[in-house]
Amino acid sequence: VPVYVHRYFVTFGATVISTFILVPCAVSLMGFFQPCMPPALTSAMILNYQNWGHDGEAGLLLKFGLGVYEFYAWLVIIGAVGIGLYVALLYPVEVKLLIIDYIEKNEMGVKRPTSSFHLYKYRVLQLISTYQNNTWCQPSVPVGMGGVAVAETVSLYILVTSYDQAPVIILLLFLIIALDCFMVIHVICKIMATPYSKSRNFIEYMKIRKSSKWVRHFIRSCQPSKLSMGDGTFFDRLTPFVMWQKCIDLLITLLLK
């Protein structure tokens, strides 16, 4: 199997690592200088604040403690989401793509393969798909994708309707959420659908290719690698467009009310 991962996987990993550092630090500084300003968790703990810009009449030592608390809390939050998305969701997808690339390289190369032993790797691919679907069983994927769609819709709604009323820092917060959810819908979902597209194309190619009797029987037993969405559907190339259409429809519904 190839030892080099795809560029998107390295890029997304670097993004997750930078998020682990930047977001907790930013919210920690916010909790120190403006403890009453959302999304700082201290804004729900301080009761004697007058507005979001108020310091809550907290002393220096108390604000330092609140800043440390904010850093730890957001480190845990970002870590749980980032590791869950990167390790439990994208890593199996990357392994499946590497396996498909390895099989295609051996089967579709310039030189005809002398043996078909590499096709056994497809069974590993099927096992990974089964394990991943068992891990992300009902209702993990529907709840996760639904949460992303709701977060995207609410963020766009606030940006459209409250751009002249909310503080700049709040608008920046919802802008970041909207961009992150947009990336999840149009980039992450597309990546998760790639193993299905590539494995289906490979199976179709092998079915029409002139091969030995054993290979033909083996290919008949192979199914495309599908990542279930928990409701009987799976990720394919139309999933990002369907999710985005639902977000826009919900946003229009909210704006018309």
pLDDT digits (tens, 9 = 90+) for 7-26: 888 888 888 888 788 878 88
- Tens digits of residue pLDDT in 29-51: 877 777 777 666 666 665 556 66
- Tens digits of residue pLDDT in 127-139: 999 988 888 877 8
The residues facing 234 across adjacent strands are 228
- Position 51, amino acid: N
**pLDDT-wise least confident of 44-53, 81-90, 146-155:** 44-53
What is the pLDDT averaged over residues 220-234?
A: 85
Confidence of residue 200 (pLDDT cuts 50, 70, 90): very high
CA distance 246 to 22: 31
CA distance 230 to 14: 29
Q: Are 102 and 118 in contact (CB under 8 A)?
A: yes
pTM of model > 0.75: yes
CA distance 146 to 247: 10
Average pLDDT along the chain = 82
Percentage of residues in the chain having pLDDT higher than 70: 86
Is pLDDT of 1 > 50? no
pLDDT (0 to 100) of residue 197 = 92
Residue 159 CB coordination number (10 Å):
15
Q: In this predicted model, which residue has the larger pLDDT, 100 or 167?
A: 100
Q: In this predicted model, which residue has the larger pLDDT, 97 or 52?
A: 97
Radius of gyration of the chain (CA): 24
For residue 193 the two structure tokens come to 């659908």
What is the pLDDT averaged over residues 121-149?
A: 87
